[in-house]
Amino acid sequence: MSRPSKLSAQVFLELPPVLAHYLEANRAAWLEASPNSGRVSLLSRQGIFMDIEALAVERRHLLECLGSERTRALAFRMGFELGRRDAGRHIKQYDGNVRLALQAAAVVGQLQGRYVAEPIRFEFDLEEGTLYREVVLHRSAEAIAHQMVRDDVSGCVCWGTAGYFSGHMSEILGRAVVCMEQECLLKGDPHCRFLSRLDSQWGEEANWARQALRTESVESELRRRDEMVDTAQRAARRAQVSLATLNRRLKTDLLLDNLILGSEVMGSVQTRARQLSQSDVPVFLLGEPGTGRGSLARAIHYSGRRGAEPFEVVDCRGVSAAQAVQELAGFEPGSFPGAVRGHKGALQRAAQGTVFLDEVTALSHEAQGLLLRAIERREVQPLGALEGVPCDVRVIAASQHEPMEKVADGALREDLYYALIAGRIDVPPLRARGEDILRLAHTFLSDICERYEKPLPRMGDDFARALRECSWPGNVRQLRNVIEHAVLFATGGELGLNDLPEDVLATRWVRPPQDISPDLLRAVLRRTRGNRSEAAEILGVGRTTLWRAMKRLGID
């Protein structure tokens, strides 16, 4: 669009007569000054004269006290409010004529000496949701004032002017409008150029202006930041507690002297493990799933001379023959289709340390031969490699199956069996560990309560008796899960039978009928929804015995 014809040497606005007369050189009725009464009026509105140096002083102190970001937000917000107020006056003054009211904003600013305005383009269609208004301001007083304070700014600084146009147009059009400065004198541009569009037409570049209208007070921000600091400090304290708990748990898991081994049967396990930890003899841990074979393997490793070196775990279950070889030995690039990069196997990753093979009897014979070579010759040959590489590792294997039975049915190589069996340790099931059950339960209870930040409850007599009498088919792993269940669902300060899951009650050992307490009987009947046959089966008594016990205890 071509530039409008000038009304004078410094006037770019092309206005209808009702507005143009304000800018004509021979008209000055819009300005009144009365020094005797200390009054200055512009368009019949009383004000004060404030020179650019005063604006610069104000801007400097705002920047020093509030910083650039908050000063920008404050200037935009104040300009927005002034624009809204002027818009209301202009709509009223021009009897609802939107065109005149919109043009009045630039006229007022020029009359105040803030700039010389040059409109470039103005189009809008509110039904289509589009608006485009471009205006150039020459000799912006706001930019000049800012330059008197800071002349090394690379961005636009006419924040109050942008806010004024935003508020003025938003009020008149009844839609959120954002005016953004695109060019600025302070950046070295020849003028200050402003672009106004509907809020919805702007992207992230207008976020600071949107946020400026929601800027909270300094007091509110400080209060919010204090709350954030308090929250962070509480989180840090929780993290310290969690870290302490984790360290304690790791110490319990990894050091033989701190494993919970109070029972006589576990004493021999501890003695055997301590002896083996001081050697490089391969270890074979035999025990049911969940008995803590993995924790015992770690304890042996970290208590021995290799404790500072890697500890690699390989789960041999559900792994194909090819995958097992690749995981143990590794492979060179191009050794098989898809092998774009090389891969170090567990036997190399655990160099100078320990590799733990869980359910070793599930390995293929090829993988077992590779493992035997690593034990006897301390060497492993990755897939695709022309020769073997040194392999100084300690091997700890584990299985739930009797190894000789696996040798008999051909699942376990006999030569590998003899290589591993010298360091055999039989890990007993939890049900055979006596009072270790309650020791473990108390340890788990303390750790879990700390993790969930819950008060530590006490174990009721029936609760503790149920733990001792459970057959624990899932062993230590099941016990931890049961304690976690009880902590999460407990409603009081004491754990009772109602806080135990059904599988614990269902796997209790048979007990004499006279030992059946009212609480136990009620809990079992609730679990079975009143089914007496199921309740009798859980308690290990006959239906007649159950009926007599119910009658004796007054339970319907």
pTM assigned to the model = 0.51
Q: Tell whether 402 and 488 lie within a shared domain.
A: no
pLDDT at 399 over 60: yes
Q: Are residues 404 and 477 in the same domain?
A: no
Note the pLDDT of residue 249: 53
> Higher confidence at residue 2 or residue 368?
368
Q: Quick one: pLDDT band at residue 24, thresholds 50, 70, 90?
A: low
DSSP structure string for 416-438: HHHHHGGGEEE---GGGSTTHHH
Is the pLDDT at 511 greater than 60? The verdict is no
Distances (CA, A) of 360 to 250, 363, 365, 375, 382: 25, 6, 11, 14, 20
Residue 124 above 90 pLDDT?
no
With 0-12 / 13-18 / 19 or more C-beta atoms within 10 angstroms meaning exposed / middle / buried, residue 216 is: exposed
Q: Do 388 and 482 share a structural domain? A: no
Cα 123 from Cα 137, distance rounded (Å): 18
Q: Does residue 246 fall inside a structural domain?
A: no
The backbone torsions φ and ψ at residue 465, rounded to the nearest 5 degrees and listed phi first, read -65, -40
Q: What percentage of residues in the chain have a pLDDT greater than 90?
A: 46
* CA atoms of 321 and 366, how far apart (whole Å): 7
Domain range enclosing 25: 17-215
Per-residue pLDDT at 402: 93
- pLDDT-derived band of residue 278, with 50, 70 and 90 as boundaries? confident
Report the pLDDT value the prediction gives residue 522, as an integer from 0 to 100: 77
Question: Is there a single domain that holds both residue 449 and residue 422?
Answer: no
Which range among 60-69, 313-322, 331-340 shows the weakest confidence by mean pLDDT? 331-340
Domain end point (choices 404, 428, 452): 428
The CATH number given to whatever domain includes residue 83 is 3.30.1380.20
Is there a domain that residue 271 lies in? yes
Computed over every residue of the chain, the mean pLDDT equals: 85
Provide the pLDDT for residue 3: 42
| Position with higher pLDDT, 338 vs 141 | 141
Given a cut of 70, whether residue 261 has pLDDT beyond it is no
Kindly give the interhelix angle for 461-469 and 475-489, rounded to the nearest 10 degrees: 160
- Between 11-25, 188-202, 363-377, 420-434, the lowest mean confidence (pLDDT) is in 11-25
Binned at pLDDT 50, 70 and 90, residue 515 comes out as low
- pLDDT top residue among 90 and 527: 90
Residues 53 and 130 in one domain: yes
Q: Could you give the angle at the alpha carbon of 356 between the alpha carbons of 354 and 357, nearest 5°?
A: 145
Which of 13-27, 393-407, 530-544 is the most confident on average?
Answer: 393-407
How many domains does one find in the chain?
A: 3
Does residue 346 register a pLDDT over 50?
Answer: yes
Asked if 157 contacts 184 with a C-beta cutoff of 8 angstroms, the reply is yes
pLDDT digits (tens, 9 = 90+) for 152-166: 777 899 999 999 999
**Residue 59, CA distances (Å) to 52, 151, 165, 339 in order:** 10, 13, 20, 65
Assess whether pLDDT exceeds 80 at residue 118. yes
Q: Which of 378, 398, 428 is the last residue of a domain?
A: 428
Residue written as token pair 């954002």:
178
Q: For residue 347, is it within any domain? A: yes
Q: Which of 215, 232, 266 is where one domain is finished?
A: 215
Q: Are residues 264 and 211 in the same domain?
A: no
**Could you tell me if residue 222 is inside a domain?**
no
- 244 is a domain residue: no
Nearest to 266 by CA among 523, 439, 31: 439
Give yes or no for a contact between 288 and 400, defined as CB atoms under 8 angstroms apart. Answer: yes
Please state the rounded mean pLDDT for residues 356-367.
Answer: 94
Q: Which two three-digit tokens encode residue 189?
A: 């541009």
Report the pLDDT value the prediction gives residue 546, as an integer from 0 to 100: 76
- Residues 308 and 195 grouped into a single domain: no
**With contact defined as beta carbons under 8 Å apart, do 230 and 160 qualify?**
no
Distance from chain centroid for Cα 335: 40
Task: Indicate whether 366 and 500 sit together in one domain.
Answer: no
At residue 367 the predicted structure's pLDDT band, cuts being 50, 70 and 90, is very high
Contacts of 240 (CB under 8 A, 6+ apart): none
* 53-62, 266-275, 351-360: range with lowest mean pLDDT: 266-275
Pairs from 202-210 (Cβ < 8 Å, separation ≥ 24): 202/178, 205/180, 206/178, 206/180, 208/69, 208/72, 208/73, 209/76, 209/162, 209/163, 209/166, 209/178, 209/180, 210/178
Q: Assess whether pLDDT exceeds 50 at residue 303.
A: yes
Q: Which amino acid belongs to residue 142?
A: E
Cα dihedral 15/21/22/28 (nearest 10) = 160
- Residue 224 inside a domain? The answer is no
Confidence of residue 43 (pLDDT cuts 50, 70, 90): confident
Q: Are residues 409 and 510 in the same domain?
A: no
200 domain residue, yes or no:
yes
The 3-state secondary structure of 331-377, one letter per residue = ECCCCCCCCCCCEECHHHHCCCCEEEEECHHHCCHHHHHHHHHHHHH
Inform me whether the pLDDT recorded for 242 exceeds 50.
yes
- Is residue 95 located within the same domain as residue 121? yes
The average pLDDT across 214-232 equals: 81
**Residue 173, SS3?**
helix
Q: Please, what is the Cα angle at 401 between 395 and 407, to 5 degrees?
A: 80
CATH code of the domain containing 333: 3.40.50.300
Q: What pLDDT, on a 0 to 100 scale, did the predictor assign at position 99?
A: 87
Q: Which CATH number belongs to the domain containing residue 512 in this structure? A: 1.10.8.60
Instruction: Give pLDDT, residue 4.
Output: 39
> Which residue from 185, 183, 165, 162 is spatially nearest to 173, judged by alpha carbons?
165
- The first and second tokens of residue 437, run together, are 């059950």
Is residue 240 assigned to a domain? no
Both tokens of 346, joined, read 């567990």
User: In terms of domains, do 379 and 457 share one?
Assistant: no
Q: Report the pLDDT averaged over residues 202-221.
A: 88
Question: Is the per-residue pLDDT at 192 higher than 70?
Answer: yes
Report DSSP letters for 93-149, one per residue.
HTTT-HHHHHHHHHHHHHHTTS-EEEEEEEEEETTTTEEEEEEEEES-HHHHHHHHH
User: 451 with 496, same domain?
Assistant: yes
